[in-house]
Structure 1
Amino acid sequence: MTGRVQPRQLAFALPHAESLSRDNFLEGPANAAALGLIDSWPDWPNRVMLLVGPEGSGKSHLAAIWAEEAGARSTGAHALTAASVPGALATGALVVEDLDVATLDERALFHLLNLAREDEAFVLITARVAPAALPIELRDLRSRLRAVPVINLMPPDDQLLRALIVKFCADRQLTVDETVVSYLASRIERSFAAARQAVELLDTEALRRGRPVTRALAAELLRDA
């Protein structure tokens, strides 16, 4: 008896929600200092703190954990305007995500930092690079940002990288065995973004081809990547 031929499936780019709860945060040496900062609130060394790390390193997850705990509002740095600052600080705690001078209103951020100091509000800023590396034109803002304590998130070690692969698979409801995880961890760049991209590629191609996620599929895809 011949088996039924399975039709090829179309792969749709559907969103995959990631849990941003404290229980779902993966801990490791790479993010220990940053997690320690979040857990130590409100006993921070400064009311304004800055989390710096590469894409996908957990900055937004940590910011979400803190926002829940502190009752903080959240805004993208690109969305800051002078008029929006008082409302943004209304709860006494604010997350400012993705500090990037290309889309930043420097005077609005300077106004925010001044008002936060006057109101004794807490501000958590996230960025991919430290302020010292940003070409900020406003001298007073440049000076103020460089005085903000920076907590760095480092590239994942092997244990955290493997845990990230498992988490990203779980977020996509993918069932994988240890051979797949081990193969990916030994072949991809040691970064959060690479782990997410590898799992996304596996998910998309497995669905498109109507195949299970196996080590053989992973080897085929990474060889062609």
Structure 2
Amino acid sequence: MNFAPEPALPLAWPVDLSPDRLAITEANRAAAAWLASPGLWPVPVTLVVGPAGSGKTHLARWFAARSPARVIETADREDPESLFHAWNAATRQAPLLLTSQLIPRDWRHGLPDLASRLAATPLVKLGEPDDELLTAVLGKLFAERGVRVGDDLIRWLVVRIERSLVAAQAVVAALDAAALARRRAITIPLAREVVDGQGEFGF
């Protein structure tokens, strides 16, 4: 029986960022170790900076699940006065975690008192996910769906999809949907059809 080609999938997939799904590898191990010990921070605030898809949100949720912390994402877009008061309200018992794609000197808040607070805030930098992290995330995502795939498929995906955790979530969801629709196993030929047909994966 022949199956008609699947229509293009939507650009946005629901992304599960549950804390217990965080994969820790060399790419984010130092950041996770720092966030795991807020009592050792010089001030009760930390800023995590990294490009889109580098895992800032997932780390932030992992951190918040481990401590009674407040998290402010995309802090560079926050109202400066509100951010200033949030910084001042942070304590050892209730630390504050900020995330941003920009380092503080590129924030356009125009508030000197906030600038001085940010200058005293420890900065944790995340880069794009490396091969080890993408491999671990892809393997975990397939396993959680009950899908068995070969290591060769994961290696093929790692060097072809956009280097972001959101892209990893998206491509696994797309492959699972395509395999179910076409009643095929998830193999490199199927992955080639899906990835080549969906430009948002960053081939």
Identity of aligned residues (%): 38
How far apart, CA to CA, are the structure 1 residues paired with 2:179 and 2:122? 44
Aligned structure 1 segments of 4 or more residues deviating by more than 6 angstroms: 6-14
Work out which of the residue numbers 61, 72, 84 in structure 2 matches 1:96: 72
- Does structure 1 retain, via aligned residues, the 8 Å contact 2:48–2:56? yes
Q: How has the CA–CA distance of structure 1 residues 111 and 162 changed in structure 2, closer, same or farther, with 3 Å as cutoff?
A: same
Alignment-derived partner of residue 148 in structure 2: 175
State the AA in 2 paired with 1:50: L
1:75-94 correspondence to structure 2 within 5 Å: 93-94=69-70
- Once the 2 structures are TM-superposed, how far is the Cα of residue 134 of structure 1 from its aligned partner? 1.9
State the shift of 1:217 in Å: 0.8
| Partner deviation per Cα, 1:43-70 (whole Å, 9 max, x = no partner) | 2232111111233333233223322322
- Given candidates 115, 133, 136, the residue that maps to 1:142 is 115
Give the corresponding residue for 2:61: 64
- Select 1:128's aligned residue among 81, 85, 101: 101
Aligned match of 1:39 in 28, 36, 43?
36
Corresponding residue of 2:126: 153
* Structure 2 CA distance for partners of 1:174 and 1:127, relative to 1, 3 Å: farther
- 1:16 and 1:137, CA in 2 relative to 1: closer, same or farther beyond 3 A? closer
1:123 shift after superposition: 1.0
What RMSD, in angstroms, separates the aligned Cα atoms of the two structures? Answer: 3.0
Give the superposition deviation at 1:6.
Answer: 8.0
Is the 2:15–2:169 Cα contact (8 Å) retained in structure 1?
Answer: no
Q: Helix, strand or coil: the match of 1:187?
A: coil
Q: Distance in 2 between matches of 1:186 and 1:14?
A: 21
State whether structure 2 residue 136 is matched by structure 1 residue 163: yes
Gaps of 5+ in 1: 73-92
With over 3 angstroms needed to count, the CA separation of the structure-2 counterparts of 1:130 and 1:159, relative to structure 1, is same
Instruction: State the secondary structure of the residue aligned to 1:223.
Output: helix
1: CA distance between counterparts of 2:86 and 2:15?
A: 33
Match of 1:112 in 2: 86
**1:98 deviation in Å?**
2.8
Say which one has the larger Rg.
1
Structure 2: distance between partners of 1:198 and 1:52: 25
CA distance in 2, matches of 1:162, 1:218: 15
- Would the aligned equivalents of 1:97 and 1:127 in 2 still touch at CA under 8 Å? yes
Aligned length: 195
Mapped to 1, the partners of 2:166 and 2:187 lie a distance apart of 21
Instruction: List gaps (5 residues or longer) in structure 2.
Output: none
